[in-house]
A = this chain, B = another copy of it.
Amino acid sequence: MRPQLLDSSRVVFDFVRDVQFAGKKVGVVPTMGALHAGHLSLARAARATCDIVVVTIFVNPTQFAPHEDLSRYPRTLEQDIELLAGEKVDVVFAPDSAEIYPPGFSTYVQPGSVSESWEGQYRPGHFRGVTTVVLKLFQMVPAQTAVFGRKDYQQAQVIQQMVRDLNLPVAIQVEETVRDSDGLALSSRNRYLTPEQRSRALAIPAAWQHVQREFNHGITDTSILESEMRQILEDRQVDRIDYAACVHPETLERVSIAAPNTVVLLAAHVGTTRLIDNATIGNATP
């Protein structure tokens, strides 16, 4: 069955409150649309534990920096709804920009310490836009559970810090990254890659897979691991490396000695497309 399509925050709020009043558990999956199997795995995770699943689709202007790809960000609402029907999603909340940012809008969430490094450095204002829209969506769709993808690792940490710091009554569930068979993490931006670019983009999973192998061989000095990642990215000709770092899984501060829960964070450009990925070092099978 096709999910119900709503665009009014008032209507979706009343709907969620009504079903909760009837004792049901509601899960929300915030997305920017252009859905792929990664998003669908989030909807499936919500479906598995919740009575009612709401997927939000909103290309959020405040999380794009001025030089970024807001206008060319893919919009595929009809196809998204079809895909979500296949996951038995109950409601798609797809508001327009004026519903979310009416004239005079000027109150933001200022994200916490975890937002300052990495993406925060390369995309000024990005996380302020993310936390602001996510907090707003949590108020409009006051679900008990919200599901996010691990591909945006720092985003998930920033949101969890916001939820803790601001006492938002929602449980955050983070689901594993879904990858194509070649190892590339699914992303709505992958459709911009030419076949030649896509082949160079595989340097990114190759880099963290290499680090996992090195760690399994006893190499824990992260300056070595990071320089080997850079070497792989350069050898396989990504066009620019933003960062390739070994960090603490929660604070996202750089660590000097890798441990099994250390996280590798990567961001690189291939052509005009910027890609990010991450992995936990100790997750590889030796």
Instruction: Check A135 against B104 for contact (C-beta < 8 Å).
Output: no
The stretch of A76-84, A85-93, A136-144, A230-238 in contact with B is A136-144
Most B Cβ at <10 Å: residue of A105, A107, A167, A168:
A107
Closest to A137 in B: B167
Closest to A9 in B: B167
* CB-CB under 8 A for A140 and B167, given A107-B161, A161-B106, A161-B107: yes
Give A residues with C-beta under 8 Å from B: 9, 13, 21, 102, 104-113, 128, 131-132, 135-136, 139-140, 142, 161-162, 164-169
A-B contact pairs, 29 of them (CB 8 A): A9-B167, A21-B21, A102-B164, A104-B112, A104-B113, A104-B161, A105-B112, A106-B112, A106-B161, A106-B165, A107-B110, A107-B111, A107-B112, A107-B131, A107-B161, A107-B165, A108-B109, A109-B109, A109-B110, A110-B110, A132-B166, A135-B166, A136-B166, A139-B166, A139-B167, A139-B168, A139-B169, A140-B167, A142-B169
